[in-house]
Amino acid sequence: MKGNRAVLYLRLSKEDADKISKGDDSASIKNQRLLLTDYALTHNFKIVKVYSDDDESGLYDDRPDFEKMMIDAKLNEFDIIIAKTQSRFSRNMEHIEKYLHHDLPNLGIRFIGVVDGVDTDNEENKKSRQINGLVNEWYCEDLSKNIRSSFKAKMKNGQFLGSSCPYGYKKDPENHNHLVIDEYAAKIVKRIYKLYLSGYGKAKIGSILSSEGVLIPTLYKREVLGENYHNSRALETTKNWSYQTIHTILNNETYIGNLIQNKVNTLSYKDKKKKILPKEKWIIVENTHEPIIEQEIFEMVQKLQKTRTKSTGSMEANGLFSGMLYCADCKHAMLRKYARRGTKGFIGYICKTYKTQGKQFCDSHSIDIKDLEETVLFSIKNEAKKILNEEDIDELKKMEVYNDSRECYEMQLDGIQKRIDKIEKFKRKTYGNFMEDLISKEEYMEYVSGYEDEIKKLQEQKRLLEGKADLKQELNAQYDEWVEAFKNYINIRKLTRDMVLELIERIEVNIDGSIIIYYKFQNPYG
């Protein structure tokens, strides 16, 4: 019967959580539905649809089911909206004026708040509705302040308030504000620290883990822990460990038992946008949970990241390459070679297999220590000269070959995102035109369908470009790592053990005495 078609609007917000946890489930979705259904049946209303927004704030009108309901209202799908209270519909005074006192009356739709007696068919309670709107908005502002204050108090007390735990930890089943170790992920974290202290770069560590099929933190949380986790800084298509992920893990104090929270904040209680807070406003509490990494190891990693050197003390020339020289054919270590007569002593290196088993198993692959030093020194200086000098590093990045190898993914992505944003504005404008009867239902549906098709295509283009951009980011990180490693060695005149340890992974000696140097840091752009 026309005039009696009713829809129920249910909303459960974060502010209801404390009520429910204390045993008062009157605010729950289930009980809201029972209350509104009973009211509708008592008043002979026909329920045609139920809209429900769970864990959504009443300050905003971009709630999924709320938006659907307002579109259906324009499409004449119902005559009455029934909610528990006006505040369930909205806590924003601006929205109360827009929807309850403008849009819905113009559409001939009645709004009823069961508990607070709000009824837009009753003109006499309009002022009370407006007062309720102001009170509800003030309530939200006060609530926001109280929640922030409560959160800060909990943070200062060492309680973890994040929705998802740092990789390597999970929430204590008996206390969700306390972190406990996730044994599998913790092993990966420990391995990352061990690899870095062994001389592996961050990009290389990521490459090792990726090649072994180790799930990145985002996928691990989703596929193993079953969390509905989304990392806004990562790409949905990313499956490989990135330089940045390794860097974050190596610098996260959570792994030594400390909690760092309050790093971001919303601009206001009515604005969802967030800002990064200065470090002095962070809340840091020590020893809140069991550490994965020992304090000493963490400090060693921090020092190594700053110096990029391994302090091993001074060594004589004959110890420069200890543990680094290998035969290029049999891949066994090289042994020191000494002069048979005279006082020269140590003169170079020779293949261990040849020395101990004979030439039937390998050739000598002998190399003189002076030739080795000169060749390695020349190679390091040559690698460093590619950087020119520290002042020219930025100019190097502007070179044509550098830009060509990277392409302009950022510009393309920015262009696509701007187009998506523009189409979204068109959608909102079209919705407004429809609500104001400037276009027909058919026109509205046609426009929206076209916009959504274009957005879908643009998002696919964006995903493809983001995949390329992710690779570019990794290459850029490798390049920056290479620059940092070699920029101080442009004008070197003598090799040191620290220098060799910092830069070189291994050296292989060929049969003709030439060498192959495997550097720890590579320029991915040649």
What's the pLDDT score for residue 20? 40
Q: Average pLDDT of the chain?
A: 76
The more confidently predicted of residues 462 and 404 is 462
The more confidently predicted of residues 421 and 62 is 421
Residue 225 has pLDDT above 80, yes or no: yes
What are the helix (H) ranges across 157-235? Answer: 183-197, 202-211, 217-219
What's the pLDDT score for residue 404? 39
The three-class DSSP label of residue 226 is coil
Residue 213 has pLDDT above 50, yes or no: yes
For the segment 296-353, what is each residue's pLDDT rounded down to a tens digit? 999 998 888 776 433 333 334 447 888 889 998 888 888 888 776 555 677 889 998 8
For the segment 101-125, what is each residue's pLDDT rounded down to a tens digit? 788 888 899 999 888 778 888 876 6
Residue 41 to residue 51: CA distance in whole angstroms: 17
The three-class DSSP label of residue 331 is coil
Residue 47 to residue 59: CA distance in whole angstroms: 26
User: CB within 8 A of 54, min separation 6: which ones?
Assistant: 11, 12, 29
What's the pLDDT score for residue 201? 81
Q: Read off the pLDDT of each residue in 487-510 and give the average, rounded to a whole number.
A: 78
Most confident of 133-147, 199-213, 263-277: 199-213
Amino acid in the structure at residue 252: N
Contact 360, 393 (CB under 8 A): no
Q: Read off the pLDDT of each residue in 120-139 and give the average, rounded to a whole number.
A: 62
Residue 57 has pLDDT above 70, yes or no: no
Q: Lowest-pLDDT range, 28-32, 34-38, 133-137, 401-405?
A: 401-405
pLDDT grade, residue 381 (50/70/90)?
A: confident
What's the pLDDT score for residue 79? 94
Burial of 482 (0-12, 13-18, 19+ CB in 10 A): buried
What's the pLDDT score for residue 147? 56
Q: Which two tokens stand for residue 399?
A: 């070179």
- The C-alpha angle 265, 186, 503, rounded to 5 degrees, equals 90
What's the pLDDT score for residue 24? 44
For the segment 136-193, what is each residue's pLDDT rounded down to a tens digit? 555 555 555 555 666 677 778 888 877 788 899 998 888 888 899 999 999 999 999 9
What order do you get walking across the sheet with 46-54 strand by strand? Answer: 46-54, 5-12, 80-83, 110-113, 118-119
Residue 168 to residue 292: CA distance in whole angstroms: 8
